[in-house]
């Protein structure tokens, strides 16, 4: 289906996504993280104490998927889950010191990824590419929203 020699826009986009995933995974594994964990860390760096439901809804993930990711993160010592003091039915997620300390490393990986992905582009080319990425994102958001509302 996807020929590495295929130069169609869709094939190139798929190849970029795949290469980005491989590189991102390699960099994250160096600091002991797995896919799915950085977005949760980022949410908690900004708003520690979210519920599992908050995380699932914001990331558009199934609650069971979030539970698996959180369990792995908890086992790694990155976060802890505690009952909400006002409603014991609700579990809140809090970063541990180890989880808080990963922020600098994750931000460094993001910076590295950006530098590696866009090496050799002029400032003007980056602005144009940004506009194209926004257009692609908005196109996909529109069709996804249309399907959700059917």
- Give the pLDDT confidence of 1-47 residue by residue, as tens digits: 556 678 899 999 999 999 999 999 999 999 999 989 999 999 999 99
Q: Tell me if 133 is assigned to some domain.
A: yes
Q: Tell me if 2 is assigned to some domain.
A: no
Q: Tell me if 1 is assigned to some domain.
A: no
Specify whether 144 is located in the same domain as 95.
Answer: no
Specify whether 132 is located in the same domain as 97.
Answer: no
Domain that holds residue 130: 122-150
Specify whether 109 is located in the same domain as 136.
Answer: no
Specify whether 83 is located in the same domain as 129.
Answer: no
Tokens of 41: 């860390």
Residues 6+ apart with CB under 8 A from 14: 2
* pLDDT value of position 2: 55
Contact 99, 43 (CB under 8 A): no
Specify whether 74 is located in the same domain as 56.
Answer: yes
Task: Please name the residue that has the structure tokens 């908690």.
Answer: 44
What global pTM score does this model have? Answer: 0.82
Q: Tell me if 49 is assigned to some domain.
A: yes
* pLDDT value of position 58: 95
Q: Tell me if 3 is assigned to some domain.
A: no
CA distance 116 to 96: 31
Residues 6+ apart with CB under 8 A from 92: 49, 50, 51, 81, 82, 83, 84
Specify whether 53 is located in the same domain as 112.
Answer: yes
CATH number at residue 94: 1.10.10.10
Condensed to tens digits (0 to 9), the pLDDT of residues 72-121 reads: 999 999 999 999 889 888 989 999 999 999 999 999 999 999 999 999 99
Specify whether 109 is located in the same domain as 131.
Answer: no
Specify whether 36 is located in the same domain as 99.
Answer: yes
Q: Tell me if 4 is assigned to some domain.
A: no
Beta bridge partners of 50: 93
CA distance 128 to 126: 5
Q: Tell me if 142 is assigned to some domain.
A: yes
What is the number of structural domains in the chain? 2
Q: Closest Cα to residue 28, out of 14, 39, 12?
A: 39
């Amino acid at each position: 289906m996807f020929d590495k020699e295929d130069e169609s826009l869709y094939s190139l986009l798929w190849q970029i996504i795949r290469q980005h995933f491989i590189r991102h995974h390699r960099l994250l594994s160096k600091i002991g993280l797995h896919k799915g964990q950085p977005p949760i860390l980022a949410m908690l760096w900004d708003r520690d104490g979210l519920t599992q439901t908050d995380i699932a809804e914001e990331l558009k993930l199934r609650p069971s998927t979030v539970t698996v990711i959180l369990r792995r993160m908890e086992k790694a010592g990155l976060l802890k889950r505690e009952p909400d003091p006002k409603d014991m039915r609700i579990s809140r997620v809090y970063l541990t010191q180890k989880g808080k300390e990963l922020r600098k490393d994750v931000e460094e990986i993001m910076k590295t990824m950006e530098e590696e992905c866009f090496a050799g582009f002029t400032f003007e080319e980056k602005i144009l590419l940004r506009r194209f990425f926004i257009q692609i994102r908005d196109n996909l958001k529109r069709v996804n929203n249309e399907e959700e509302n059917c």
